[in-house]
Amino acid sequence: MGGSRFQIGGPTGAFIVIVYGIVQKYGLDGLMISTILAGLMLIGFGILRLGAVIKYIPHPLVVGFTSGIALIIFSSQVKDAFGLQIDLMPAEFTGKWIAYFSKFCKINYYALIITLVTIVFAVYGGKIIKKIPGSFFAIVLVTLIVTLLKLPVPTIQTVFGDIPNTLSFQIPHLEWGALRDYIQPAFTIAIVGAIESLLSAVVADGMSSGNHRSNTELVAQGIANIVTPFFGGIPATGSIARTAINIKNGAKTPVAGIIHALIIFLIMLVFSKLATLIPMSCLSGILIVVAYNMSEWRSFMAIIRGSRYDVLVLLTAFFLTVFVDLTIAIEVGMVFSAMLFMQRMSKLSNIESVDIDNDILENYSSLPKGVDVFEITGPFFFGAAQAYKETLKGIAGDSKVLILRMRYVPFIDSTGIQNFQEVIRDFRIRKVTIVISGVRPEVRKTLTDCGLADIIGSNLICDNFGEAVKKATEELEKKKLFRFK
């Protein structure tokens, strides 16, 4: 159903923090409901064709919350990596590290050595046997060593018990009055899932010279997240790491993804007993490598050295993710990015007097006295509309006719229209005629639809400067004739 031929879907590292937080607050039923709602949202994103829009989420925002997730994942693995005995682990970031420092005097050195060995095998194992991922190589080898030598370290079985090896269908208990409580976590799952799926699809395109369909991919991921919770599944998305491995190992069609799913299913049914023997410190080593790969520290440092606007977005997303909540980080980060973008766009918007002697139109090296020319540059939107209004109202002198050149105005929004109307009323009181020059078709349509073209006078909205000068001269002559009479 997906929009990418090579995408491999499933749980990813980014969801560790989200799932943990939702289960802590709402329980397993809450996770199921949030995942199903997120699936519906993803389908909605695809139907509304928001796939292209999601790809325009600022890179500093993505790096910020991805790096924050990486730091949280690393922090969550310190306990098992060092074999620390902590009965009640605090949920918040600072609480975890306070607990760690209070227990570092009782390190289990077997666990620490296993963690370090796992990291080495996970990083370099894939280079020795190229067809087998390093993390898989590390899990098999380390688990075998720990089992044979009976090393005193916690395993999945000693901590969690047996892993179920049968399918079960479960319907979550839902109180309709509490449905709104799940909207925020569902939105987080949907946004992170959409971003990661589309990023993974873009990576796949780059590696395979393909071209994915964003909206189709979102709908497919939505369907997956609606169905899987009923069978015990957690939120899933496109996995960049597994998708890259899929392509590197010669995948040609979506059948590779189906085979991937069947093998995972087979492992659950047949080898779940063996999986319980995996040491917790081995899993910690794998997740530390995952956290490092997620951290994007090179991109992080590159953004830090760049624009201060990007640095603000990056650090806001990063610190909110680590110290507050991933949902808040995404919401605030997106709003903050939009506000900074609008501020930067408003600075690009400008209005200034034009020296006609230096203008590109040689046929009009001079204008009649009483005709002045001003040029508006940039979008006439709410971020710049007030500044335009104040500047236009402050225009002084003996102008009788004012030519406003708008060839570099790509669009005008409702706030710009409202402020423009106030400016026109002000000029009418001052008996100054407005002539508009070089209006783009989309801007002209907006002026017509809102009725502003009728207020200005459709004949005074000109396609080019030459026509505008001609109209301005005619209007000036009318004013002189009227005064003479």
What integer pLDDT is reported at residue 485 of this predicted model? 44
CA 158 vs CA 104, 153, 279, 378: distances in Å: 22, 9, 9, 65
Q: Which residues pair with 373 in a beta bridge?
A: 403
326 within 8 A of 17, measured Cβ to Cβ: yes
57 within 8 A of 338, measured Cβ to Cβ: no
pTM, two decimals, is: 0.71
Q: If phi over 0 gives left and psi between -120 and 50 gives alpha, with beta otherwise, what is residue 381?
A: beta
389 within 8 A of 423, measured Cβ to Cβ: yes
Length of the chain (residues): 485
Q: Say how far apart CA 477 and CA 462 lie, in whole Å.
A: 18
What integer pLDDT is reported at residue 228 of this predicted model? 92
* CA torsion, ordered 201, 218, 310, 325, to nearest 10 deg: -120
111 within 8 A of 281, measured Cβ to Cβ: yes
The full set of domain ranges for the chain reads: 9-342, 350-484
What integer pLDDT is reported at residue 353 of this predicted model? 66
Q: How far is CA 414 from the centre of its chain?
A: 27
What integer pLDDT is reported at residue 359 of this predicted model? 45
Q: Say how far apart CA 300 and CA 141 lie, in whole Å.
A: 34
* Non-local CB neighbours of 81 within 8 Å, separated by 6+ positions: 111, 112, 115, 281, 284, 285, 288
Alpha helical stretches, state H, 129-177? 134-149, 156-160
Q: Which residues pair with 237 in a beta bridge?
A: 10
Q: What φ, ψ does residue 350 adopt, rounded to 5°? A: -155, 155
Q: Say how far apart CA 319 and CA 326 lie, in whole Å.
A: 10
Name residue, tokens 């790509």: 410
What integer pLDDT is reported at residue 331 of this predicted model? 79
Name the CATH superfamily housing domain 350-484: STAS domain (3.30.750.24)
Q: What φ, ψ does residue 279 adopt, rounded to 5°? A: -65, 145
Residue 350 burial by CB count (10 A; 0-12/13-18/19+): exposed, middle or buried? middle
317 within 8 A of 329, measured Cβ to Cβ: yes
Q: Tokens representing 332? A: 């605030």
Query: What is the three-class DSSP state of 10?
Result: strand
Nearest to 59 by CA among 306, 348, 326, 347: 306
Whole-angstrom distance between the N-terminal and C-terminal Cα of the chain? Answer: 77
Residue 4 burial by CB count (10 A; 0-12/13-18/19+): exposed, middle or buried? buried
In the chain, the largest separation of any two C-alpha atoms, in whole Å, equals 112
What integer pLDDT is reported at residue 174 of this predicted model? 81
Q: Which residues pair with 374 in a beta bridge?
A: 353, 404
Q: Say how far apart CA 222 and CA 155 lie, in whole Å.
A: 34
Amino acid at 89: M
Q: Tokens representing 38? A: 């997120």
What is the pLDDT tens value at each position of the chain, 485 positions in all? Answer: 889 999 999 988 778 888 988 998 899 999 999 999 999 999 999 999 988 777 677 888 888 888 888 898 899 899 999 999 888 888 788 999 999 999 888 899 999 999 999 999 888 877 777 777 788 889 999 999 999 999 999 999 999 888 888 888 888 888 888 888 899 899 989 988 998 898 888 878 877 878 889 999 999 999 999 999 999 889 999 987 788 778 877 888 899 999 999 988 888 888 888 889 999 999 999 989 988 888 888 889 999 988 888 898 899 999 998 998 777 887 788 888 878 777 777 666 677 666 554 444 444 445 677 788 888 888 887 667 677 777 777 765 567 888 888 888 888 888 888 888 888 888 888 888 889 998 888 888 888 888 888 888 888 988 888 888 888 888 888 776 655 44
Nearest to 326 by CA among 142, 124, 191, 461: 191
Q: Say how far apart CA 31 and CA 228 lie, in whole Å.
A: 12
Q: Please tell me what DSSP assigns to residue 163.
A: P
What integer pLDDT is reported at residue 55 of this predicted model? 66
What integer pLDDT is reported at residue 483 of this predicted model? 54
CA 186 vs CA 91, 182, 192, 387: distances in Å: 20, 6, 10, 40
Rg of the Cα trace of the chain? 31
- What does the angle CA 30 – CA 35 – CA 41 come to, to the nearest 5 degrees? 125
What integer pLDDT is reported at residue 154 of this predicted model? 93
Residue 438 burial by CB count (10 A; 0-12/13-18/19+): exposed, middle or buried? buried
